[in-house]
Amino acid sequence: MGCSGSKDGAKQGDKPTTSDAKHQKCMEIVDKLDTDNNGVMSKAELQLLVKHLYPNFINIPAANIKLDDPKIVALNGKTKAELVAHLEKTCDETWVTVFHQFLGCVEGDPPDFPECTPGVYSVVWEGGVRYRNSPNYQDIADYEQLALPETEFEISHFKKGPLGLVYGYIHWARYWLPMSFQDGRPMLKRIGDVGTSQQLEQLAIDLFNEIDTSKDGFASWEEITSFLHGAEIAYDEEQLKKDFEEADVDKNGQLDKQEFIDCYKRESIANVFCIPTKGRQNIPHPEGMEEDIANAREDKIAMFSMTKKQDASKAKGDAA
């Protein structure tokens, strides 16, 4: 399985050098994009080429790249051989490799991707990871930013897509992230169990500090919901109201910092802050996943409540 292409310049059986490998990949990319096989790149094909091979276009939908952009102009009118030479000279080999895989140009059989288990995952690919609308490598959510390096996500649901590649479901964003490249190199790495992310807890603290504009150490319902609206952070209003009342242990109609963190950990507020999530709570989950997501949330709340009781019991014992 893979893309066909000439193997000129390397003897059969020889291991290609880095230069040979890059040349081969550039040839296969150009061949793959020449969809009508006329030897000439259309403007749309050039836009796709530029989007994926030059990092400054990574957050721009291909169709929005201006045709008079210097990167497009430099490619327009070139023969396929000239395009290959230009890409070899101007593109980073890593980006060439990533786009090569994106197009499905993977030599040999796909690797046996390992199963993933629920937990906290950190983005380990240095270029960041693009969100997908579905568990399909090419179904990129063009209008969203990247999941940036070292960003942490709590992921409980996974699905295999074409070629067996595993995708994790980011349920508050309603997006999928590929857990690895098609050659098996990881994009995200499991770093802990669900509920253990220090990064997400710090984000909750930062969120509270932003909400507490009066700096009195408390946040009311109105302050919380007003801020979430303005910051374009999604939340489940009915569930948040319930969680707010349960977290408000002293029943004074507002939450202190720890009470807010406890409320946040119940997941009625989006735990994805790297992209705007407001409104995405109204997008249906993939068919058959709604109940599983609700059950995973209940399991997390039960685990959280148990931990709180154990901590309280330990504190009481230490005091005695």
Least reliable range by pLDDT among 3-12, 190-199, 216-225, 304-313: 3-12
Sign for the pseudo-dihedral over CA of 195, 198, 199, 204:
positive
* pLDDT > 90: percent of the chain: 50
Beta-bridge partner residues of 116: none
Q: Is the pLDDT of residue 268 over 70?
A: yes
pLDDT digits (tens, 9 = 90+) for 57-94: 877 888 899 999 999 999 998 988 999 999 999 999 98
- In the CATH scheme, what is the code of domain 198-308? 1.10.238.10
Q: Can you tell me the distance from the alpha carbon of 78 to that of 138, in angstroms, rounded to the nearest whole number?
A: 26
pLDDT of residue 110: 64
Q: Is the pLDDT of residue 7 over 50?
A: no
> HEC profile for the chain?
CCCCCCCCCCCCCCCCCHHHHHHHHHHHHHHHHCCCCCCCCCHHHHHHHHHHHCHHHCCCCHHHCCCCCHHHHHHCCCCHHHHHHHHHHHCCHHHHHHHHHHCCCCCCCCCCCCCCCCEEEEECCCCCECCECCCCCCCECCCCCCECCCCEEEECCEEECHHHCEEEEECCCCEEEECECCCCCECEEEEECCCCCHHHHHHHHHHHHHHCCCCCCEEEHHHHHHHHHHCCCCECHHHHHHHHHHHCCCCCCEEEHHHHHHHHCCCCECCCCCCCCCCHHHCCCCCCCHHHHHHHHHHHHHHHHHHHHHHHHHHHHHHC
Residues contacting 226, CB < 8 A, separation 6+:
none
What's the pTM value of the predicted model, to 2 decimals? 0.74
Domain boundaries, the chain: 18-102, 119-192, 198-308
pLDDT digits (tens, 9 = 90+) for 95-113: 898 888 888 776 666 667 8
Q: Can you tell me the distance from the alpha carbon of 287 to that of 272, in angstroms, rounded to the nearest whole number?
A: 22
Sheet holding 119-123, edge to edge: 152-155, 119-123, 188-192
63-to-41, 74, 102 alpha-carbon distances in Å: 15, 17, 18
- Mean pLDDT, range 37-58, rounded to an integer: 86
Nearest to 188 by CA among 144, 153, 138, 139: 153
pLDDT digits (tens, 9 = 90+) for 139-189: 989 777 889 999 999 999 999 988 788 999 999 999 999 999 888 889 999
Angle at 169 between CA 168 and CA 174, to 5 degrees: 150
pLDDT digits (tens, 9 = 90+) for 290-310: 888 888 878 777 777 776 666
* pLDDT > 70: percent of the chain: 88
Q: Can you tell me the distance from the alpha carbon of 263 to that of 245, in angstroms, rounded to the nearest whole number?
A: 9
Number of Cβ within 10 Å of residue 123's Cβ equals: 22
Residue pair 157/168 in contact (Cβ under 8 Å)? The answer is yes
